[in-house]
Amino acid sequence: MNFKKINIPLYIIAALLFGLKTYIVYRFMFNIDLENSMQELILFINPFVSAFLVFAISVWFKKRSRQMKYIRYMMLLGTLIIFANLVFHRSFTDFITIPQLFQANNMADLGSSILTLIKPYDILLFADAVLIWMLSKEKENVMAVNYPKSGKVFAAALSLALLAGNFFLAEMERPQLFTRGFDREYLVKNIGLFNYHIYDIVINTKTQSQKVFADGNELPEIEAYVKENVRSSEKSDLYGVAEDKNVIFIWAESVQSFVINNDVNGEEITPFLNSLTEDEDTYYFENFYHQTEQGKTSDSEFLVENSLYPLSRGAAFFTHGQNEYHGLSEMIKEKDYQSAVFHANNKSFWNRDQMYNSLGVDHFYGEEAYEITAENSVGWGLKDKPFFEQSIKYLQSMEEPYYAKFITLTNHFPFELDEEDKSIEPYDSNSNTLNNFFPTVRYMDESIELFFNQLKDAGIYEDSIIVIMGDHNGISANHNRSMAQYMDKDEITPYDYVQLQRVPFFIHIPGHGEGEIKSEIAGQIDVKPTLLHMLGIETTHDFYFGNDLFHDDRKGFIALRNGDFISEAYVQASGICYDRETGEPLPAENDEEQQSEEESGTPSACDSISEQVDQELTYSDDIVYGDLFRFVDFDSDNN
């Protein structure tokens, strides 16, 4: 290649190329939602601002060779950061955080999942890095710069001025942007991917220091909030209904409520779970939401065990596995229950072996407890049918009463299934993920039905209550176009996407005869107090943010980890307040003052609930980051 006529400094070329590439990834691969022209402008300029800031540092190197080396290695490093976030975003519609980098030992178990997320055209991301590498080698003498000190200072000052301008526009567009770090897409959209990562490092450092400086003085304020807004002094109608019964809890991997009582290609997707919605011994909660974040299944376990919110960054199972907790598994020992978790996966995945000790789980049956072969496994491991079949003998050996949790695997991204296990055909859309989702959901539905029969044959069924819960969503926002096709909609709005976060929740009580479909809003945060009360265990001295699902006196909203929420009247999604019944955005109440979303954050109809949601999330974070339960004696009447 002939570079003889190129005289522009290499750091300028690198900044322009890298900024353009980053913008293209933002706009067409991250598919970041843009609501107005200001957001369009900010999204366009922030990658160039970040790129200029990084590459302009090279002018401070006196030696040409060091300038060139710095530029080419920063170009490669920046490209790898973009690529890693892109692959992560394709699975989770989110951006990598520092705590997740400490979960890298999970990567060995991801296998084909990661390969599915890498596209052949991703290699084009490295094209400009290759070009810069060649230019730095062949045109070092021409493209290196030797500015006087004043020129270097000017380059640095210009970089910082551009950054300040970017932040000024971002603050105009989204006031208090840095105090609402729950929504990472807003941060990337307004300040850029690389500035977001710097922000994430700062926040991670701050949160790591919280435990060091915590002394327990934070607890009275949290206790007062829980007592006033969450706890109820009266018992629900189902208090004690499951006393001395076994609790069998099935974690239904990645199942969302839209499959219940629905079909694909003219076939029922979940015939057995459908039948439970009409069963007289079953309570089915049709407006039950998962509340997980980056920890996914481990977050759902954290919610159920503690009735605390998961962290907004990383997974508490990893980052705070050694904390003191007062979880469900520990509290049921008061009624002489033993607890066990069944999951045919590596015990170190999500740091379960350590976290279960902190939660007071008595037994963990991991992959070493099962006979796993090439024939009975697919995707992430042991298929659900042999998983349940091989688990029965362990249940029969346990001393009653017990709390046994079963975490399934087959209905897991990328939703692989052998042909002989498919009972229905895949869907036909441009998303293989959504297409293959339906056959694996049906397989799991069949496995749960078989498990019910196995419990009956083993003589366990009548003395147990059986809980089934979808742990998190399986279809991310990356597949919204195909979901819109399946749901016969023009598009999936933010309101629609929040509704898709509903997951099935069943409580099956053999012989109860009073089951029904319950329509009140509910979430995973509510499971712990509900089960404890059903077992006849008081929660007077506990810290929790959920409500007994069978109690009428409830706080009236379900908070999502990103700060959105669902109440009986409203849904807040992506900063927009919707009427929950119609799904229509609510206008600003005072049109004369032009109280728009840009000026006030959200319309005032949602403001009061939004403030309480933020408060709860903050209190929960304070408990986890500060490890505050180490200062609490839960056995005492006076905490």
- Domain residue limits, the chain: 10-210, 219-631
Residue 100 binned pLDDT confidence (cut-offs 50, 70, 90): low
Q: What is the C-alpha to C-alpha distance for residues 583 and 174, in angstroms, rounded to an integer?
A: 24
Q: What's residue 513's pLDDT?
A: 96
> If you average pLDDT over each of 80-84, 179-183, 200-204, 404-408, which comes out highest?
404-408
Class of domain 219-631: alpha beta
From the list 516, 537, 390, the residue with the least C-alpha distance to 451 is 390
d(CA 11, CA 48): 12
Region 116-139: mean pLDDT is: 89
pLDDT bucket at 30, cuts 50 / 70 / 90: confident
Percent of the chain topping pLDDT 90:
64
Does the pLDDT of residue 520 top 80, yes or no? yes
pLDDT, mean of residues 68-97: 88
Which residues are tagged catalytic?
Answer: 297
- Residues in contact with 480: Cβ distance below 8 Å, sequence separation at least 6, in sequence order: 491, 492, 497
Interatomic CA distance for residues 426 and 178, integer angstroms: 43
Supply the pTM of this predicted model: 0.79
Cα 471 from Cα 504, distance rounded (Å)? 9
Task: Name the least confident of 265-279, 411-425, 510-524.
Answer: 411-425
SS (H, E, C) 400-418: CCEEEEEECCCCCCCCCCC
With a CB cutoff of 8 Å and minimum separation 6, the contacts of 378 are 410, 416, 417, 418, 421
pLDDT, tens digit, for every residue of 255-266? 999 999 999 999
Which range of 36-45, 225-234, 257-266 scores highest in mean pLDDT? It is: 257-266
- If we measure between CA atoms, which residue out of 65, 113, 108, 61 comes closest to residue 87? 113
The average confidence (pLDDT) of the chain is 89
Task: Using the predicted structure, report yes or no on whether residue 178 has a pLDDT greater than 90.
Answer: no
The pLDDT value given to residue 638: 56
pLDDT at 104 over 90: no
Percent of the chain clearing pLDDT 70 (strictly above): 92
User: What pLDDT does 248 receive?
Assistant: 98
Q: What pLDDT shows up at residue 592? A: 41
**In terms of pLDDT, which residue wins out, 635 or 447?**
447
Confidence check: pLDDT of 326 > 80? yes
From residue 67, how far is each of 50, 581, 587 by CA, in Å?
Answer: 18, 60, 54
Tallying the residues shown for the chain, one arrives at 639
- Distance between CA 403 and CA 330 in Å, rounded? 11
Whether 626 shows a pLDDT value over 80: the answer reads yes
Higher pLDDT: 328 or 210? It is 328
Instruction: Please spell the DSSP secondary structure of 345-401, one letter per residue.
Output: S-TTGGGHHHHHHHHT--EEE-GGGS---SSSEETTEE-HHHHHHHHHHHHHHSPSS
Q: What angle do CA 486, 261, 270 make, to 5 degrees?
A: 90
For 611-625, what is each residue's pLDDT tens digit? Answer: 999 999 999 999 999
| Residue 37: predicted pLDDT | 85
Alpha carbons 226 and 372: distance in angstroms, whole number? 45
Cα–Cα dist 430/569, whole Å: 35
- For position 639, what pLDDT does the model report? 55
At residue 340 the predicted structure's pLDDT band, cuts being 50, 70 and 90, is very high
